[in-house]
Amino acid sequence: MKTLILPEWYGDKIIDLPKSQRGRNPLSVRKALAGIAETLATELSGANQVQSWLSNFEPRAKILGILVLIFGVTCLSKLLPLLIAFSLTSLLAASIRLPFKRLSCLWLGVPLFSLAIILPATLNIVTPGHTTFFLCHFGEGARLGQWNLPVSLTVTHEGLIVAARFMLRSISCVTLTALLISSTNSSTLVNALRRLGMPRIFGMTLAVMQRYLSLLLRAAEEIHLAKLSRTIAVKSIRNEQRWIAAGIGVLFARTHRLAEEIRLAMVSRGYDGDLQVRSIPSLQARDFVWLSGVTLVMSAMLLIDHL
C-alpha cells in the first residue's frame, strides 16, 4: 500500500495578520462589491425603466425639456425659488411612480457628497458674514504658513445660505437626470443625443459601453471568485497587492481583446462609424406642448427669483 504524500504547500504556516492590518470583515466587503456590481449591471440593462406619461414624449423633446429645467435650476440664486424647484421635481418623480428606494438613495447620497464639497464655504475664512456657530479661537496675529488666520473660526449665516443653495441645486439636477434616465431606454437616449448633435464617436462610445460594461463587471467578478476558490491560507498584504495588480492586467487584456473582436465584427457587418437606427420618430404636438410648458414654468421661476 502506497503512502499518501501531501504537497508542500499543504504544510505552509498560515500567516496571522496583526489586528491593524486585518481591516474589515472580508465577507461584508465582498457582499458590498457584489451588490454594487449587480446594481450597476441592472441599471445598464434597463430593467428598472419606469413606464409613465413621461415615456410617451419623443426622446429629443424629453431631453431638451429636462435640459431647460436643469439650466433654469442652476440659474436660480434665492432659496425660496430653489425650494419650489425641488418640490416640483419631487412631484414629477411621484407622478411617474419612481420607486422611493431609488429616490431615497439619491436624496441621501447627493446631499452627503455635496456637503463634503461645500463644507469649507460655510466658514468665515471663505464666506465672511454674521456668526452663527463659534468653532475655535486663534487669537490676534495667528498665521498658517503664508496665510493670515482670523481671530476666530466660525460658521457664518451667509456661508450656510451658500451651502443650502448648492445642495438644493445639486439634488434637484440629479433628480431631474434620474427622471430622464428612468423613463427612457438607454439606446433610445443615446440615439436622441446623437440626433441632437452629439459627435458620433461619443454616441458610439456610450452605446458600446452601455452594452458591454456589465459583461466586463461579470468578468472581473469571475476573476475574483476564481482566486477565492483557490485560496487556502491567508497571505500577506504585499502578496494580495501583487495579485490585485495581476488581476487588473488580466482584465485589461480581456477588455482589449474583446474590443478588437467587437470592432472586427462591426466592420464585417458594414459599420460606417455611426449608429444605425431602425426608425426615427418625429416630433408631435404633445412634444411641443411639453417644451412650451417647461419653458413657461422655468421662466416664471426665474422671474420669481429676480423679484
7 domain residue, yes or no:
no
Given a cut of 50, whether residue 21 has pLDDT beyond it is no
HSE-CB for 256 with a 13 A CA cutoff = 6
- Assess if residue 24 is contained within a domain: no
Angle of helix 157-182 relative to helix 186-195, nearest 10 degrees, comes to: 100
pLDDT (tens digit per residue) in 6-16: 556 555 554 44
Residue 20 lies in a domain: no
Total structural domains in the chain? 1
Give the tens place of pLDDT for each residue, 62-90: 889 999 999 988 888 888 888 988 888 88
**What contacts 63, CB < 8 A, 6 or more positions away?**
180, 189, 192, 193, 196
Q: Give exposure, 11-49, as e/b (b: 16+ Cβ within 10 Å).
A: eeeeeeeeeeeeeeeeeeeeeeeeeebeeebebbebeee
Mean pLDDT computed over every residue of the chain: 77
For residues 262 and 208, give the distance between their C-alpha atoms in angstroms, rounded to a whole number. 9
Does residue 29 belong to any structural domain of this protein? no
Asked if the structure places residue 23 within a domain, the reply is no
What average pLDDT does the segment 184-189 reach? 77
C-alpha distances (whole Å) from 216 to each of 42, 47, 243, 282 are: 14, 18, 18, 36
C-alpha 217/C-alpha 213 separation (Å) is 6
Report yes or no: 295 and 68 within 8 Å, Cβ to Cβ: yes
Instruction: Residue 41: name the closest of 242, 258, 216, 240 by CA.
Output: 216
Q: Residue 38: what pLDDT?
A: 65
What is d(CA 11, CA 5) in angstroms, rounded to the nearest whole number? Answer: 11
**DSSP β-bridge partners for residue 131:** 156
- Cβ–Cβ < 8 Å for 56, 138: no
pLDDT of residue 104: 78
Take residue 197 and report the three cell numbers written for it. Answer: 448633435
Query: Domain range for residue 294?
Result: 51-272+285-306
E runs forming strands in the chain: 131-137, 143-144, 147-148, 152-156
pLDDT at 41: 60
Is residue 36 included in any domain, yes or no? no
**DSSP letter (8 states) at residue 122:** G
pLDDT for 42 beyond 50 = yes
Q: How many residues does the chain have?
A: 307
Considering all CA atoms of the chain, what is the largest pairwise distance in Å, rounded to the nearest integer?
A: 98
pTM reported for the whole predicted model:
0.69
Residue 205 forms part of a structural domain: yes
Closest CA to 68 of 287, 234, 227, 295: 295
Residue 279 lies in a domain: no
Above 80 in pLDDT, residue 143?
no
